[in-house]
């Protein structure tokens, strides 16, 4: 490599002589072009970048855009990238190329209802969201859905509910602080400020169950072009006007970074009816195992083991089940929470019906990349989850009265707009969710959400799910979790 070429490349790559390097100072769509060329060339990324720069297929892009010449070069590079994506990504449908263009989006002041829709839109979108477990929501930080603009009486009802539930939130939080201070003494070497902060967090973690899905949240999102495009199409087909508006706003802002890769986005002809026919019931159990790998085999455990270890001897039954378990343990024994879960563990799956609070649902959503969800719309028919500390502190009557007020508002609003009524659902109300989970993801859930420091409801949930797994496939889950569990 000549000195001139090396100097040119050094503007865009972290090194010119090693096998691993970063690519910088180029528009995201230009980077996607460079990656795409590798699928048709034996040359390296750096060689293709040199080719694009020196052949003027992409004009040279200076590392800064301070002067007019640099600005013109950036514009030309982006235009050439646009033409490439128009031909290959849009025209020929090579969508994988779009995965190399990445955008980071800040999203503020959307409802908890909208954030759940966004997080379900595509499993390859990455989020960090404001947590009601650790942050106190603001009294006036809530969303009034545009569906109620035509219905001022019902809009006023929903607004009044927000103030009522926040009043209850503050009173329950205060009551929990006093109760927890009496029942949770300071830890060794814990000063007064740290103690009050810890007790306070425990208080508003459970007090939040009376807040509604209209309460605002903030989140940061990182997305590749392909996942974002597919996710936006789904969001544009959502039944809620807020979610549709959110999709349009994200598309508009992300187009500054990925102008071509987000073209041809429009709402689907038919809005997806995912979960629309699922109905919650107050009497339904929190966890019910619907199906598991090996259900139709005479020996479900043997079938699961066969998939896990790929052994013909296991399939033919020449090994006793206990010997099969021992073989499995030797192959997949994990020792710490940081051990990788083997790929084979994702070949065994379980389908659950879960009735969980909206508070727990928002936590479970963080695992959407490895779990396939079908969720019913939010509602009030499934009953509520009452945090144990609220019951123990004698605050349940206030909690129940607040929930009844939310259910009354829900009925009034649903008479004019079923979609707007979803904003009156509280974090305590249970939602019906179907979740297809692999054995490997169950192990991950137990490592993370089954840990002692996990929030109590999600910990109880995954522990019950693990119990169902162990019932149908005894001995498979424990070796993957590690000794801590």
Indicate whether 399 belongs to any domain. Answer: no
Into how many domains does the chain fold?
Answer: 2
Q: Which of 198, 175, 176, 174 is nearest to 186 (CA)?
A: 198
In the predicted model, is pLDDT for residue 447 greater than 80?
yes
* Residue-number span of the structural domain to which 40 is assigned: 3-99
Of the three residues 84, 99, 114, the one that is the final residue of a domain is 99
Indicate whether 175 belongs to any domain. Answer: no
Indicate whether 322 belongs to any domain. Answer: yes
Give DSSP secondary structure letters for 195-241.
HHHHHHHHHHHHHGGGSBTTBEEEEEEEEEHHHHHHHHHHHHT-S-H
Q: Which of 186, 195, 250, 212 is nearest to 132 (CA)?
A: 212
Q: Dump pLDDT digits (tens) for 155-212.
A: 999 999 999 999 999 999 999 999 999 998 898 888 988 888 888 888 888 999 999 9
Mean pLDDT of 78-97: 53
Across 34-48, 130-144, 356-370, 387-401, the highest mean pLDDT is recorded for 387-401
Q: Which of 50, 58, 63, 54 is nearest to 75 (CA)?
A: 58
Give DSSP secondary structure letters for 46-63.
HHHHHHHHHTTSS----S
Full-model pTM: 0.80
Q: In what order do the strands lie in the sheet with 216-224?
A: 102-111, 216-224, 126-129
Of the three residues 75, 99, 123, the one that is the final residue of a domain is 99
* 303: number of Cβ within 10 Å: 20
Indicate whether 453 belongs to any domain. Answer: yes
Task: Give how far Cα 73 sits from Cα of 59, 84, 260, 415, Å.
Answer: 6, 17, 18, 58
What CATH number has the domain bearing residue 342? 3.30.1360.170
372 neighbors 436 (Cβ within 8 angstroms): yes
Indicate whether 372 belongs to any domain. Answer: yes
Distance between CA atoms of 479 and 485, rounded to whole angstroms?
10
Indicate whether 264 belongs to any domain. Answer: no
Beta strands in 281-425 (DSSP E): 287-292, 349-357, 372-375
346 neighbors 310 (Cβ within 8 angstroms): no
Distance between CA atoms of 179 and 200, rounded to whole angstroms?
11
What per-residue confidence (pLDDT) applies to 129? 79
Indicate whether 59 belongs to any domain. Answer: yes
Q: Dump pLDDT digits (tens) for 325-366.
A: 666 666 665 455 556 777 777 878 899 999 999 999 999 998
Across 25-29, 294-298, 321-325, 412-416, the highest mean pLDDT is recorded for 412-416
Of the three residues 99, 116, 138, the one that is the final residue of a domain is 99
Q: Dump pLDDT digits (tens) for 404-432.
A: 999 999 999 999 999 999 999 999 999 99
């Amino acid at each position: 490599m000549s000195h001139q070429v090396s100097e040119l490349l050094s503007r865009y790559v972290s090194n010119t002589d090693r096998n691993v390097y970063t690519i910088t100072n180029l528009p995201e769509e230009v980077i996607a072009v460079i990656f795409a060329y590798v699928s048709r060339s034996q040359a390296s990324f750096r060689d293709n970048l040199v080719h694009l720069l020196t052949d003027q297929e992409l004009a040279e892009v200076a590392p800064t855009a301070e002067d007019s010449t640099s600005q013109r070069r950036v514009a030309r590079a982006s235009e050439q990238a646009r033409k490439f994506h128009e031909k290959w990504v849009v025209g020929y449908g090579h969508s994988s190329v779009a995965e190399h263009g990445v955008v980071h989006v800040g999203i503020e002041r959307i409802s908890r209802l909208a954030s759940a829709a966004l997080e379900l839109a595509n499993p390859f979108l990455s989020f960090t969201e404001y947590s009601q477990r650790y942050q106190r929501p603001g009294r006036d930080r809530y969303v009034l859905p545009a569906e109620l603009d035509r219905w001022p009486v019902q809009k006023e009802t929903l607004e009044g509910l927000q103030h009522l539930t926040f009043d209850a939130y503050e009173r329950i939080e205060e009551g929990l602080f006093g109760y927890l201070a009496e029942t949770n003494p300071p830890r060794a070497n814990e000063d007064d400020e740290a103690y009050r902060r810890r007790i306070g967090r425990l208080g508003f973690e459970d007090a939040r169950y009376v807040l509604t899905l209209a309460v605002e949240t903030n989140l940061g999102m990182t997305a590749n072009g392909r996942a974002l495009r597919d996710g936006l199409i789904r969001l544009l087909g959502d039944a809620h006007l807020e979610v549709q508006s959110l999709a349009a706003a994200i598309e508009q802002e992300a187009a500054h970074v990925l102008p071509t890769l987000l073209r041809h986005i429009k709402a689907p002809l038919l809005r997806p009816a995912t979960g629309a026919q699922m109905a919650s019931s107050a009497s339904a159990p929190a966890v019910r195992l619907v199906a598991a790998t090996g259900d139709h085999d005479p020996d479900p455990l043997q079938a699961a083991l066969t998939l896990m270890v790929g052994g013909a001897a296991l399939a033919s039954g020449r090994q006793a089940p206990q010997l099969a378990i021992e073989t499995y343990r030797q192959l997949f024994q994990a020792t710490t929470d940081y051990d990788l879960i083997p790929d084979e563990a994702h070949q065994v799956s379980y389908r659950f019906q879960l009735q969980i609070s909206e508070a727990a649902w928002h936590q479970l959503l963080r695992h959407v990349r490895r779990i396939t969800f079908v969720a019913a719309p939010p509602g009030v028919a499934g009953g509520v989850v009452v945090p144990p500390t609220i019951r123990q502190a004698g605050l349940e009557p206030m909690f129940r009265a607040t929930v009844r007020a939310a259910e009354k508002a829900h009925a009034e609003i649903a008479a004019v707009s079923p979609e707007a009524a979803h904003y009156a659902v509280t974090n305590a109300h249970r939602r019906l969710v179907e979740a297809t989970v692999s054995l490997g993801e169950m192990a991950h859930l137990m490592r993370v959400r089954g840990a002692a420091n996990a929030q109590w409801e999600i910990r109880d949930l995954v522990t019950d799910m693990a119990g169902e797994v162990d019932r149908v496939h005894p001995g498979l889950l424990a070796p993957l979790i590690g000794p801590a569990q």
